[in-house]
Copies of this chain bind each other. A is one copy, B any other.
């Protein structure tokens, strides 16, 4: 597949050749004109894959649970794709070893696709790259896409929360209940999974979660169920899938699925606009006529808001 241009790769993908997938996702990650062209060509060419975000604190067992979900789904004959998203990767510039191992695990199984995603210069970061990647994977015919994040940073919660169903994985005995609340996980969760549920403080965490949920209203008519799991042994994995299915059914019957997706599309448009305007800001900042102003800012002689006023004045 190497050496073929993005358009040819896209045509191959749309014709059913999944070998084009890794290369096309690299194009999407890299951003730029090629990514735009791929994005335009795959748009509406998928079948509307259902997306499941999986997020939670580091060490909660998200990867292990994801692996169990893959296993059970394959046993049931379902295909599944996983995007493992790591917003911290711009620093390290590489996929996690664990994801590479997983990819090798399923290398022989065309019904499973696992891919680590990092921002490699993508304009607007992963928040923009992930929905584009989802559409490419969707166009490859995967009907279910799991989006797993590494931790619970602001962008990770944002990315996982932008799925059709968001699963929040937490563990007992780690103060995760309070942490979940703080990180905004309560707001994005459609399903709570208490992993490592053989821990003695499992009931306590479940009580805390329920208490926090009692304080919240659920105008959509869906209160996140709490599912117990022991991802290491696989216990509870089917229950997690059941909870996801029930949420999917709720989204479909209530019409929320289309409403949510419409809202997300508008949010994506806004992010694209902002990213484009950000490029414009960099261009403006670099202009020779602003050299003196830049010096004044760097020398802390003028405050940034006043300086921005001056630069934007030139735009109008």
Contact = CB atoms under 8 A, between A and B. Distances in A.
A247 to B, nearest CB: 21
A36 to B, nearest CB: 5
A contact residues, range: 35 or more
Interface string A2-38: 0000000000000000000000000000000000100
A316 to B, nearest CB: 10
Nearest to A298: B262
Given A184-B92, A308-B272, A154 B277 contact: no
A58 B105 CA distance: 32
A269 B304 CA distance: 5
Contacts of A262: 298-300
A210 to B, nearest CB: 18
A72 interface: no
Contacts of A92: 181-182, 184
B284 A273 contact: yes
A99 interface: no
Interface stretch (A83-91, A199-207, A218-226, A238-246): A83-91
Contact of A312 (B40, B152, B273): B273
Contacts of A311: 273
A43 B154 contact: no
A153 interface: yes
B265 A304 contact: yes
Contacts of A299: 262, 265
A301 interface: yes
A268 interface: yes
A281 interface: yes
A179 B150 CA distance: 10
A237 to B, nearest CB: 24
A285 interface: yes
B183 A88 contact: yes
A132 B228 CA distance: 45
A154 B308 contact: no
A39 interface: yes
Interface in A144-162: 150-156
B270 A281 contact: yes
19 contacts: A39-B303, A40-B305, A44-B301, A57-B58, A58-B179, A88-B184, A96-B182, A153-B154, A153-B156, A265-B299, A266-B297, A266-B298, A270-B285, A272-B304, A273-B284, A273-B311, A274-B281, A276-B308, A276-B312
Nearest 6 A-B pairs (CB), nearest first? A91-B184, A153-B153, A262-B298, A277-B277, A43-B303, A273-B281
Interface of A: 36, 39-40, 43-44, 57-59, 86-92, 96, 150-156, 175, 179, 181-184, 186-187, 261-263, 265-266, 268-274, 276-278, 280-282, 284-285, 294, 297-308, 311-312
